[in-house]
């Protein structure tokens, strides 16, 4: 059967895309030209904060002292999980070498970037977990310098729990600056910071646009849009759990899509009936986002069978993908496009967002069809090298000369010719394009 939309989104993530490009571009250009003073000017304007830009050890210690012991324990628990998972990921990368032909060896090395800039949102929500996810992975990767950047609150500064998380996870400097000015400061190496080689971490539309503009000049984890989540549920699923999980992700933002894909009409209808009341029961600060996201962006899709459900999910390529259905091994083997996968009712996106160890900085807006999320690998440069004996280079040089001439690249060919002439002066080689 064709897919039946029991609820269809009226808007997409692009519907309210603000015209922020020129604003962000102007701010970046002004800060690059004006340096520290211009960055401070924008910080005063947008952050409404005039305290220390780079936190001193004393300020970090004072902020950490404000964090309750139970929360500290939870942060250490999450950090340990993220660290151990990142270490396991890093172990999958190894330096290798291969003898291409006798006497000619090529190899691979994994080298961490020198300096990482980790953006940690701190506006409406203090994203403690983002500090854990970004700083820990950079530390495990082996980055020499890590800056954690988070928006300060007027009269308060960076949220103490974010300071504590950044500190224990290995940040070398904590930058009290938000938005475009924070991203620019890390990129341009202001206030004595090293210039970042890579920028990572989630942020609002201005942060995302700044990273997009700067990409190429500096590496980024990904170009992120609003967070999104899809649940695959069959008739054996618990409608209340499914509805709760959808609402939990809708609270991220007014334009955060959530999708339910099912082959059971009764489950679909029950979930749609339950969601409004679950949203209404949220605190007001969360309720408005969830209500708008459900009203304008959510979809409920009825499919004919599980294969059609899986195909639908792969088409959406969601950031977060939850399976609440029977035969989890089948789904794990079949699904191919997602940022992070949550198999079974016993886990949930919220776990991955906060504490399980897998990273929550993930591809959005369908980007999971071609890339994964943040990991130690994002901070690693996979480079190659080669070394040869003179005899080992002979066959390589001959092939290089002939291929280069066939392509019309005579200079390339002569770089091979000169070596053959030097190393094997008594031998004759046919190095013409036609062989």
Sequence-ordered alpha helix ranges (H) in 69-159: 69-90, 128-141
- Rounded Cα–Cα distance for residues 204 and 165 (Å): 21
Which residue has 């060896």 as its token pair? 105
The tokens of 176 are what?
């009290």
Question: Is 320 in the active site?
Answer: yes
Q: Which of 79, 252, 320, 360 is the catalytic position?
A: 320
Question: Is 307 in the active site?
Answer: no
Inter-CA distances, 241 with 20, 79, 305, 323, 361, Å: 38, 27, 21, 12, 24
- Rounded Cα–Cα distance for residues 356 and 193 (Å): 32
50, 44 in Cβ contact below 8 A?
yes
Give 244: exposed, middle or buried? Use CB within 10 Å, 0-12, 13-18, 19+: middle
- Rounded Cα–Cα distance for residues 156 and 418 (Å): 68
Rounded (5°) CA angle 429-433-435: 50
- Rounded Cα–Cα distance for residues 210 and 309 (Å): 36
Closest to 271 in 3D by CA, of 284, 261, 256: 261
Considering Cα of 395, then 396, then 397, then 400, what sign does the dihedral take?
A: positive
Closest to 6 in 3D by CA, of 197, 272, 304, 216: 272
Backbone angles phi and psi of 148, in degrees to 5: -100, 125
- Rounded Cα–Cα distance for residues 380 and 221 (Å): 11
Q: Measured in whole angstroms, how far is the alpha carbon of residue 108 from the centre of its chain?
A: 24
The tokens of 81 are what?
């999980």
Residue 389 exposure: Cα atoms within 13 Å on the Cβ side: 7
Which residue has 């919220």 as its token pair? 350
Kindly state the DSSP code that residue 67 receives in the 8-state scheme.
Answer: S
Q: Which residues are catalytic?
A: 319-320
């Amino acid at each position: 059967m064709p897919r039946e939309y029991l609820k269809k989104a009226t808007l997409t993530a692009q519907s309210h895309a603000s015209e922020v490009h020129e604003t962000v571009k102007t701010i970046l250009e002004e800060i690059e030209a004006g340096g520290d003073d211009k960055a401070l000017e924008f910080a005063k304007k947008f952050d409404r904060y005039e305290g220390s830009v780079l936190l001193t050890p004393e300020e970090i210690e004072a902020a950490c002292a404000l964090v309750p012991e139970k929360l500290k324990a939870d942060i250490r628990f999450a950090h340990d999980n993220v660290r151990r998972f990142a270490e396991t990921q890093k172990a999958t990368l190894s330096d290798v070498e291969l003898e291409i032909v006798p006497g000619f060896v090529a190899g691979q090395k994994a080298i961490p970037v020198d300096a990482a800039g980790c953006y940690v949102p701190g506006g409406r929500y203090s994203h403690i977990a983002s500090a854990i996810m970004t700083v820990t992975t950079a530390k495990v990767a082996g980055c020499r310098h890590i800056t954690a950047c988070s928006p300060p609150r007027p009269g308060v500064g960076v949220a103490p729990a974010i300071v504590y998380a950044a500190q224990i996870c290995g940040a070398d400097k904590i930058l009290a600056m938000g938005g475009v000015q924070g991203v620019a400061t890390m990129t341009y190496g202001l206030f004595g910071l090293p210039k970042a080689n890579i920028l990572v971490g989630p942020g609002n539309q201005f942060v995302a646009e700044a990273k997009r503009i700067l990409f190429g000049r500096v590496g980024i984890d990904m170009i992120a849009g609003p967070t999104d989540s899809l649940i695959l549920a069959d008739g054996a699923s618990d409608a209340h759990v499914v509805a709760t999980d959808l609402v939990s992700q809708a609270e991220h933002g007014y334009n955060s899509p959530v999708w339910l894909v099912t082959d059971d009409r009764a489950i679909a209808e029950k979930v749609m009936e339950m969601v409004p009341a679950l949203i209404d029961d949220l605190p007001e600060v969360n309720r408005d986002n969830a209500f708008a996201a459900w009203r304008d962006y959510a979809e409920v899709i009825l499919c004919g069978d599980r294969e059609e459900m899986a195909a639908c999910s792969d088409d959406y390529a969601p950031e977060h993908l939850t399976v609440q259905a029977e035969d989890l091994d089948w789904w794990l083997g079949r699904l191919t496009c997602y940022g992070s996968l949550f198999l079974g009712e016993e886990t949930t996106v919220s776990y991955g967002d906060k504490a399980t160890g897998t990273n929550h900085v993930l591809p959005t807006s369908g980007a999971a069809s071609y890339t994964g999320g943040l990991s130690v690998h994002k901070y690693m440069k996979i480079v190659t090298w080669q070394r040869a004996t003179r005899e080992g280079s002979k066959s390589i040089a001959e092939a290089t000369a002939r291929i280069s001439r066939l392509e019309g690249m005579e200079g390339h060919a002569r770089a091979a010719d000169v070596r053959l002439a030097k190393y094997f002066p008594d031998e004759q080689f046919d190095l013409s394009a036609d062989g």
